[in-house]
């Protein structure tokens, strides 16, 4: 089951967010796990990063961000966001074994 939530380099931030939130939702409803992990804190962090991606129009080809960051800086920001989601999913996968 854990392999279903892998995040690849070709995924968008939205794909990565969806994987993280879906896995979080599934695990949050397991009684034994819900007491040993702060799901609300994880959910808040995931939401914060996703809102940042939305505000910078990451992966939105028909929109442009006017924040002043260069294309290279936006690419670096996206890479850091993807790394965050990969780490979140990897952390949550520990509960699936």
So what's the pLDDT on residue 96? 79
So what's the pLDDT on residue 6? 87
HSE (side-chain half, CA atoms, 13 Å) at 17: 19
63: left (phi over 0), alpha (psi -120 to 50) or beta: beta
SS3 sequence, 25-70?
Answer: HHHHCCHHHHCCCCHHHHHHHHHHHHHHHHHCCCCCCCCCCCCCCC
Task: Name the residue ranges covered by the structural domains of the chain.
Answer: 9-96
So what's the pLDDT on residue 2? 61
So what's the pLDDT on residue 1? 61
Give per-10-residue mean pLDDT for the chain (97 aa). Answer: 79 94 88 79 95 93 87 94 95 84
């Amino acid at each position: 089951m854990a392999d279903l939530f892998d995040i690849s380099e070709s995924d968008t931030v939205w794909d990565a967010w969806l994987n993280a939130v879906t896995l979080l939702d599934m695990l949050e409803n397991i009684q034994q796990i819900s007491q040993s992990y702060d799901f609300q804190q994880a959910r808040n962090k995931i939401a914060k990063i996703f809102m940042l991606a939305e505000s910078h129009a990451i992966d939105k080809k028909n929109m442009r961000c006017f924040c002043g960051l260069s294309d290279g800086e936006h690419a670096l920001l996206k890479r850091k966001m993807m790394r965050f989601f990969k780490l979140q999913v990897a952390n949550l996968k520990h509960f699936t074994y």
